[in-house]
């Protein structure tokens, strides 16, 4: 009998987590084989692996402990991928060389499948002087655009698109531009944005006091703190970003406050991390631990929870030793602190199964009790590991126990840590768990409420087509198996109907016993008033949350998933199809034949001594040609690193199959801040845009797309002439203006000063 509770669960396992040969031949014959592979791999670092492997298998069996996707897919495979989910990269230096070295590190990390976070507050603001070059700085947002372009072309391991978090302090001079960056729906699409909000700023907001924007000791602007807060709120209300991170609270509560400072988080926000910080994730499936579900005496099995948590902590600690890391700095950071992020999923389902309404005072109290139990078990398990294997290398009892998080910990746990140390500096975190929750039978995700009782979800297949699968919530399905067609009880609520302040109550209840943070989205109705919306964020601050993220449907972002149902409807009455349902990307890389057909194109960028030669090779599938790989060659060694990186990223996208025409769009949208050039009567905003044009022309020639796009996005240096329009006369190759004149025998631009004579 299949262990899977829904066809989509088995499909996700097969396409994302099942170990296969390079040609697609399965190695894991069943999900039990996957569990054995993971258990064996994580037991290998033990002195007695034969003792621990069956216990680890027991934890994994029946989807009770869910290691995050990278562990489930990668452990025991020998693949060159990291088992860690979350990375915050090193501090970005305020130099051109340092900025692009950081970009390279980001690409290497994402290549192995890690989501990354960056604090861009360290880059000087736009307009600040740049010493030695007689120029003004372009500011952190211009470099975020570069990161965004890189991320668009990279596919993370496991067929996941790259994900990034960008943070900026609330006192940075460019914070107003950062807040409103996503008013342009085409900009920074690969980033989640969050403002680092300080205690001093929140005090100024409440007192309606002034607020200074500073950098390098210089005050650039003073404005009312409440005005800046309202701008953050208005942007979030209208465009769903930026989120808010209460950064001083995070650092005050951090167990490692004595040896690190945090300024950024991973993309989903549940892991605040220091420079080069890394964390792995795993979740206890609470829905599997409820005894006698939907009975008057139902309860969470606390003894089973304790044993499962202790095994999960040991398994996750072993991942630190079993995993590879994209960068040596990340490996060193992980080894020095041995951070893990054990969380939960299925919380809302578990609450329903014991008869509690998610968001109620009773549900919040139960959540706090359960999370407290998990924290106790996790910390005591880590103390036992310290006695057996040693504490984490940077452990200092006095500093560790003085942190805000440890101050509230139980006295017996504090005493054990003081006596024996602790193996893992931080232990708890609540991740989004979207895909692994589906894999586990569509249990409710993380600590979120049930999203919908039943809906249709789109699934991308290997051939690029999409099928639709009906998905029923785990608790609802269990209710129906027990009670047939009886109406759902009144305490069944979901994300579509839950008041926003009930979300906050649940997040705050869980946060008390989570030493890292929580990925939680507070769904707000479209018609919520702006004042009521602001109240959600202030409630999150007042109730002790470490951050706040909301989602309100709007014309710009649309709705992630639209479900129209009331609490008394049964799954059979729920709508069959929901528009905008999230797509699960299940495609695998196409296999490369021994020989491919292709074409080589020459691109001579004005002002460059050497040409670029772009080779595009195609694969033939069912009689149709589609691009498979790209190579870019040039004698100009200055281009070597970025051309190699670009070809690898584009080729990785091509090999995933499906519609890859977006690569052209993204490349053609890249603008060089130094200005583009005129080529064959068209204004091309950058050399990357020129490469995009070559790829587009090739796709047209092989019949992959019908024709050239409608043109490039607007560029200030091309405003006087539409893209593709023939020039009205000689145009400056640097800025595109029609102000070229002869000066001492040389053509010189009166607008920008460009001259071929130097």
**What are the catalytic residues?**
266, 268, 270
SS (H, E, C) 501-524: HHHHHHHHHHHCCCCCCECCCEEC
- The set of residues, in sequence order, having a beta carbon less than 8 Å from that of 478 and lying 6+ positions away, is 293, 294, 353
Dist CA 232 CA 533 (whole Å): 12
Structure tokens at 385: 């590991």
* Residues 23/31, Cβ–Cβ less than 8 Å: no
DSSP structure class, residue 16: I
* Residues 61/304, Cβ–Cβ less than 8 Å: no
Dist CA 706 CA 661 (whole Å): 11
* Residues 425/337, Cβ–Cβ less than 8 Å: yes
* Residues 245/537, Cβ–Cβ less than 8 Å: no
Structure tokens at 50: 């034969």
Count Cβ atoms within 10 A of the Cβ of residue 583 and give its class: 0-12 exposed, 13-18 middle, 19 or more buried.
exposed
Dist CA 466 CA 458 (whole Å): 6
Dist CA 128 CA 140 (whole Å): 11
Give the pairing type, strands 86-88 and 340-345: unpaired
- Among all chains, which residue has been given the structure tokens 């190759």? 733
Structure tokens at 515: 């030493």
Give the Å distances, CA to CA, from 654 to 344, 642, 650, 687, 705.
36, 18, 6, 20, 14
Structure tokens at 273: 């991390």
Chain centroid to Cα 36, Å, comes to 29
Count Cβ atoms within 10 A of the Cβ of residue 616 and give its class: 0-12 exposed, 13-18 middle, 19 or more buried.
buried
Dist CA 753 CA 758 (whole Å): 10
Residue whose C-alpha is closest to residue 435's, from 5, 13, 6, 4: 13
* Residues 586/159, Cβ–Cβ less than 8 Å: yes
Structure tokens at 380: 């005591």
Residue whose C-alpha is closest to residue 442's, from 426, 429, 453: 453
CA atoms within 13 A on the CB side of 447: 32
3-state secondary structure of 289: helix
């Amino acid at each position: 009998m299949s262990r899977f509770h829904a066809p989509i669960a088995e499909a996700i396992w097969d396409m994302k987590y099942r170990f296969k040969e390079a040609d697609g031949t399965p190695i894991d014959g069943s999900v039990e084989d996957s569990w054995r592979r993971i258990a064996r791999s994580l037991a290998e670092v033990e002195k007695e692996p034969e003792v621990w492997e069956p216990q680890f298998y027991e934890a994994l069996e029946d989807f009770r402990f869910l290691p995050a996707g990278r562990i489930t897919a990668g452990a025991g495979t020998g693949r060159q991928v990291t088992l860690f989910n979350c990375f915050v990269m090193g501090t970005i230096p305020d130099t051109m060389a340092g900025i692009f070295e950081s970009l390279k590190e980001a690409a290497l990390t994402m290549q192995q499948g890690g989501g990354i976070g960056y604090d861009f507050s360290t880059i000087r603001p736009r307009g600040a002087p740049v010493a030695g070059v007689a120029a003004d700085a372009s500011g952190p947002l211009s470099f975020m655009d570069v990161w965004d372009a890189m991320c668009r072309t990279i596919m993370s391991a496991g067929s996941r698109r790259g994900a990034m978090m960008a943070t900026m302090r609330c006192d940075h001079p460019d914070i107003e531009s950062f807040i409103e960056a996503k008013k342009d729906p085409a900009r920074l699409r690969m980033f989640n944005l969050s403002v680092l909000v300080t205690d001093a700023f929140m005090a100024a907001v409440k007192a309606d006091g002034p607020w200074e924007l500073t950098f390098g000791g210089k005050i650039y602007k003073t404005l009312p703190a409440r005005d800046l807060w309202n701008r953050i709120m208005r942007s979030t209300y209208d465009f769903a970003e930026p989120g808010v991170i209460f950064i001083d609270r995070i650092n005050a509560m951090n167990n490692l406050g004595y040896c690190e400072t945090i300024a950024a988080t991973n993309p989903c926000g549940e892991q605040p991390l220091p420079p080069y910080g890394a964390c792995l994730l795993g979740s206890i499936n609470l829905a599997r631990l409820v005894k006698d579900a939907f009975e008057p005496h139902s309860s969470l099995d606390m003894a089973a929870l304790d044993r499962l948590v202790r095994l999960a902590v040991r398994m996750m600690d072993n991942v630190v030793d079993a995993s590879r890391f994209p960068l040596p700095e990340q490996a060193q950071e992980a080894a020095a602190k041995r951070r893990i992020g054990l969380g939960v999923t299925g919380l809302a389902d578990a609450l329903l199964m014991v008869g509690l309404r998610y968001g109620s005072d009773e549900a919040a109290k139960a959540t706090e009790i359960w999370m407290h139990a998990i924290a106790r078990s996790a910390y005591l398990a880590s103390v036992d590991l310290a006695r057996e294997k040693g504490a984490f290398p940077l452990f200092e009892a006095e500093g560790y126990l003085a942190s805000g998080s440890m101050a509230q910990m139980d006295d017996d746990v504090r005493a054990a840590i003081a006596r024996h140390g602790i193996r893992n500096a931080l232990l708890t975190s609540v991740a989004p768990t979207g895909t692994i929750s589906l894999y586990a039978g569509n249990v409710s995700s993380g600590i979120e409420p049930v999203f919908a009782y039943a809906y249709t979800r789109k699934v991308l297949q290997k051939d690029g087509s999409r099928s639709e699968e009906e998905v029923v919530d785990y608790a609802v399905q269990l209710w129906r198996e027990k009670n047939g067609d009886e109406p759902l009880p009144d305490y069944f609520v979901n994300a579509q109907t839950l008041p926003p302040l009930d979300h906050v109550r649940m997040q705050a209840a869980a946060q008390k016993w989570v030493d890292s943070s929580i990925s939680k989205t507070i769904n707000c109705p479209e018609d919520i008033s702006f004042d009521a919306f602001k109240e959600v964020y202030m409630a999150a601050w007042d109730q002790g949350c470490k951050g706040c993220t909301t989602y309100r449907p709007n014309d710009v972002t649309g709705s992630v998933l639209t479900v129209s149902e009331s609490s008394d409807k049964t799954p059979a009455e729920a709508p069959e199809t929901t528009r905008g349902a999230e797509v699960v990307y299940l495609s695998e890389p196409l296999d490369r034949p021994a020989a491919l057909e292709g074409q080589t194109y020459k691109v001579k960028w004005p002002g460059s001594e050497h040409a670029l030669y772009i080779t595009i090779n195609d694969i033939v599938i069912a009689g149709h040609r589609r691009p498979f790989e790209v190579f870019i060659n040039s004698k100009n060694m200055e281009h070597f690193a970025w051309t190699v990186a670009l070809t690898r990223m584009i080729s990785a996208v091509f090999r995933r199959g499906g519609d890859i025409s977006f690569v052209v769009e993204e490349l053609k949208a890249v603008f060089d801040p130094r200005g583009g050039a005129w080529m064959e009567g068209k204004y091309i905003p950058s050399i990357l845009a020129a490469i995009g044009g070559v790829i587009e022309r090739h796709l047209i020639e092989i019949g992959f797309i019908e024709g050239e796009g409608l043109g490039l996005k607007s560029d200030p240096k091309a405003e006087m002439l539409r893209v593709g329009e023939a020039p009205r006369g000689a145009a400056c190759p640097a800025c595109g203006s029609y102000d070229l004149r002869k000066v001492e025998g040389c053509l010189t631009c009166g607008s920008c000063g460009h001259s071929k004579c130097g």
